[in-house]
Structure 1
Amino acid sequence: MGHDEAFGALQGLRVIELGQLIAGPFCGQLMADHGAEVIKVEQPGLGDPMREWGRNKPVWWSVIARNKKSVTLNLRTKDGQDLLRELVARTDFLIENFRAGTLEKWGLGYDELSKINPGLIMIRVSGYGQTGPYSPRAGYGSIGEAMGGMRNLAGDPGTPPSRVGLSIGDSLAATMACLGAVMALHRRHLTGRGQVIDSAIYEAVLAMMESTIPEYTEANFIRERTGAVLPNVSPSNVYPTSDGDILIAANQDSVFGRLCEAMGKPELAVDPRYATHTARGKHQEELDALIGEWTKDFPAKYLADLMEENGVPAGKIYKAPDMMADEHFKARDAIVHMPHPDFANIHMQNVFPRLSETPGKIAWVGEPLGAHNEEIYGGLLGKSDEERAALEAAGTI
């Protein structure tokens, strides 16, 4: 698909993406996946550090910058700031994830930009939000995960708090920001005016914290790490097999009964220690030990098939090779192969969620730095070849 072919629910909308790394750019990826024209603004000669990220090969850029148009622009100069104002006059959204106050320092805060474009929706992703005593601080996703309460619950109780293995705080804040942007777009349809989306990483994490706050304020209970299980939800755990691990979730009464039948131990379903949700919760450790003693002698695939036959949710703990080989992933094109000038075998996750009438798609992978300078500055802004050459010579683009 070419760069100008329309697709997706957000076709016809333009996004200017400032900032770098994950918290802002993942919001831009979500919007680009669904057809918005996302113009990725990067520092001349440097670009987003994400261009260098990836284990063994720098492949992450191919994902987080897919469907985006790359331009270079030095926002620390007056000419660069003026160019951005010209772009803002022609856009619907502006995404930024600088430290709070940075755009205001450059004369590019919402008060100024909304004078140029009253319908502008500014999407601001930061560690601590745009207000409050911590707002000026640098805030990475890991700090937001800790402050929002997630880190304290991740890992085994016998070890220090773990990280999930993903930049989940950044991605959550970006997803919240994208949701807020679509809300603001609906409001703009009614009023004609844009607004600011303030998505803080610690608050995006806090929003996922279920009932941990009222558990403390009302019941004086502080939830702590519990490893692979949720306390009092049993059985639902990772169990050993003869060739790896399997996750079995049979905590509902009827499902537990089917698990007992599959195990050849139907008597467990009526045993007073295990017959009810509450009883199983009280005897969680001994029930897990009993199930693990049964599973350890069978291959994981045999157990997975047996659980399927008996209507018990179960599955392997997937890694990338398992995902690539799985028939369900293949049937739904959950992972797709993309043409790339440097990486012949690059695969990546597809576009989610799936929309029935206006599906998103991956039209192209992350582009080289400044690949669309001519299209955006020459075509969209109407700068002549001479003007663009002068801007380039000055280090503005």
Structure 2
Amino acid sequence: MSPTPLHRRDFDPSARGALDGVRVIDLSRLVAGNLLTKVLADHGAEVVKVEPPEGDSLRAWKVQGIETSWKTWCRNKRSLCLDLRHAEAQALVRRLAEGASMLVESFRPGVLEAMRLEPAALLQANPSLVIVRVSGWGQTGPFRHKPGFGTLVEGYSGFASINGFADREPVLPPMFMGDAYAGLYGSAAALIALRHAEATGQGQVIDLSLFDPMLAVLEPQTANYAITGKLKQRTGSRSTNTAPRNAYRTKDGGWVCLSSSTQGMTEKLFRSIGRPELIEDPRFRTNPDRLRNWEVLDSIVAGFVAERTTAENLAHFDTAGVTIGPIKDAAGLLDDAFVAERESLVEVPDESMPSGWLPMHGEVPRLSATPGILARPAPKLGEHNEEILAPLIGTEELARLRDAGIVRG
């Protein structure tokens, strides 16, 4: 079978989104803040990345010399490179904030104040400004001054304690889960605050910790524990709410995931594997019965799946209307008809790639009247210094600040 090519999309600088006219000053670093502002930029906001002389930390995450993380999370943005150790650079940020809709930062609590960019002063100069403060543990509480990467909150929140298998150590996620949840919660919070500011003229400060969103998505664990006094245990890919639900190995060494979350779906499953008698089997008649006897049930399903290849399993259960899917890796996603047709992944031009094309996710979420945009690739360091600062301070002053090492790039 020949590979399924991804749709190729070119950047369109004239594209406009629903947030056209919203200017965001982005002082954040790494994933959470950049994901937050990427959502806004993908829908038309003008995001000005204020980077230090060495660039955003994402630029250092390279694969064979290519800044894949930067290119993915910082598309549609502009780059302004300032040395914020200088008072004149801090003053430039204050002036930019005066004409902005939003400012996003991810310094350790207190650093913004040390740079004379404290929220009270920013809001005095621009009362409708929305200020998003991203930190590991929040702006209040006993941990506010501690460094807090996503790894720490993935452990502290209780996620790692329930992730993995019962006879093994707790497992941290192999991706930026804590940062991703914070970025997504943060984009929603920013738009809520922006709606309020547009309606009332009143800006506000959003205290966005990495910890709070991570804890929120794990509920109702604490409520369940308060009722039962029992802790949720690590169960691998098995669910403690329904059975069967697991990852199953196929005859050709692949993996499929199968979930049977309703009574009707379970009965379809039993019929599809040629075991309709299991519907009335007292061990499997109801979901509580199936959870008590999950090991026996899992062995029955696993045995059926193991006798067939991945493709045969998918075809068989799809025909029966049973919820099953393949467990894909990156290679499989790049050669997948569903992913290509829906443009969940697309290719954009990139001269640093050997092929000249860089695969990345399409616009998320999908809006019918105001879809997301691909206006420009992730910027080079300081690429938009003149475009951003010349209208604000003039070309002569810009040249002086560049000569003084305050404007960089």
Shorter chain as normaliser: what TM range?
over 0.9
1:382 offset after TM fit, Å? 4.1
1:19 offset after TM fit, Å? 2.2
5+ unaligned residues in a row in structure 2: which ranges? 1-9
Pair 1:232–1:196, CA change in 2 (3 A): closer
Secondary structure (helix, strand or coil) at the match of 1:246 reads strand
Task: Tell me, in whole angstroms, the C-alpha distance in 1 between the residues paired with 2:19 and 2:374.
Answer: 14
Task: Tell me, in whole angstroms, the C-alpha distance in 2 between the residues paired with 1:76 and 1:102.
Answer: 11
1:189 offset after TM fit, Å? 2.3
User: Which residue of 119, 124, 129 maps to 1:120?
Assistant: 129
Higher relative contact order by CA 8 Å / sep ≥ 6: 1 or 2?
2
2:388 is aligned to 376
1:58 offset after TM fit, Å? 2.8
1:98 is aligned to 107
Task: Tell me, in whole angstroms, the C-alpha distance in 2 between the residues paired with 1:3 and 1:84.
Answer: 28
Task: Tell me, in whole angstroms, the C-alpha distance in 2 between the residues paired with 1:391 and 1:151.
Answer: 48
Matched, 1:271 2:281: yes
User: Which residue of 27, 48, 59 maps to 1:51?
Assistant: 59
1:391 is aligned to 401
2:330 is aligned to 320
Matched, 1:349 2:361: yes
1:5 offset after TM fit, Å? 2.3
1:320 offset after TM fit, Å? 1.2
5+ unaligned residues in a row in structure 1: which ranges? none
Task: Tell me, in whole angstroms, the C-alpha distance in 1 between the residues paired with 2:210 and 2:15.
Answer: 32
Q: For each residue in 1:30-89, what CA deviation from the matched residue of structure 2 results, as whole angstroms up to 9, or x when unmatched?
A: 111111000000012x10121121444431111111000001012221100110111011
User: Which residue of 366, 373, 382 maps to 1:361?
Assistant: 373
Pair 1:256–1:54, CA change in 2 (3 A): farther
Q: Pick which of 174-183 and 224-233 moved more.
A: 224-233
1:393 offset after TM fit, Å? 1.5
Task: Tell me, in whole angstroms, the C-alpha distance in 1 between the residues paired with 2:110 and 2:343.
Answer: 42
Secondary structure (helix, strand or coil) at the match of 2:217 reads coil
Q: Percent identity?
A: 35
User: Does the 8 Å CA contact 1:7/1:359 hold for their aligned counterparts?
Assistant: no
Matched, 1:332 2:380: no
The amino acid that maps onto 2:57 is P
Secondary structure (helix, strand or coil) at the match of 2:30 reads coil
The amino acid that maps onto 1:106 is M
User: Does the 8 Å CA contact 2:11/2:374 hold for their aligned counterparts?
Assistant: no
The number of aligned residues is 394
Q: For each residue in 1:67-123, what CA deviation from the matched residue of structure 2 results, as whole angstroms up to 9, or x when unmatched?
A: 000010122211001101110111001010110111011110100111111110001
The alignment's TM-score, normalised by the length of structure 2, stands at 0.93
User: Does the 8 Å CA contact 1:260/1:269 hold for their aligned counterparts?
Assistant: yes
1:233 is aligned to 242
Q: Pick which of 320-329 and 193-202 moved more.
A: 320-329
Q: CA RMSD in A?
A: 1.4
Task: Tell me, in whole angstroms, the C-alpha distance in 2 between the residues paired with 1:164 and 1:195.
Answer: 33
2:40 is aligned to 31
The alignment's TM-score, normalised by the length of structure 1, stands at 0.96
Alignment of 1:58-207 (within 5 A): 58-207=67-216
Task: Tell me, in whole angstroms, the C-alpha distance in 2 between the residues paired with 1:200 and 1:265.
Answer: 50
Secondary structure (helix, strand or coil) at the match of 1:346 reads strand
1:220 offset after TM fit, Å? 1.1
Task: Tell me, in whole angstroms, the C-alpha distance in 2 between the residues paired with 1:290 and 1:322.
Answer: 28
Secondary structure (helix, strand or coil) at the match of 1:338 reads strand
2:259 is aligned to 249
Matched, 1:208 2:220: no
Task: Tell me, in whole angstroms, the C-alpha distance in 2 between the residues paired with 1:284 and 1:55.
Answer: 42
1:335 offset after TM fit, Å? 0.5
1:295 is aligned to 305
1:157 offset after TM fit, Å? 1.8
User: Does the 8 Å CA contact 1:23/1:126 hold for their aligned counterparts?
Assistant: no
Pair 1:332–1:3, CA change in 2 (3 A): closer
Pair 1:352–1:129, CA change in 2 (3 A): same
User: Does the 8 Å CA contact 1:66/1:364 hold for their aligned counterparts?
Assistant: yes
Q: For each residue in 1:293-338, what CA deviation from the matched residue of structure 2 results, as whole angstroms up to 9, or x when unmatched?
A: 1111100111111111111110111111221222211121110101
1:187 offset after TM fit, Å? 1.1
Q: For each residue in 1:215-238, what CA deviation from the matched residue of structure 2 results, as whole angstroms up to 9, or x when unmatched?
A: 122221211211111125101111
1:292 offset after TM fit, Å? 0.7
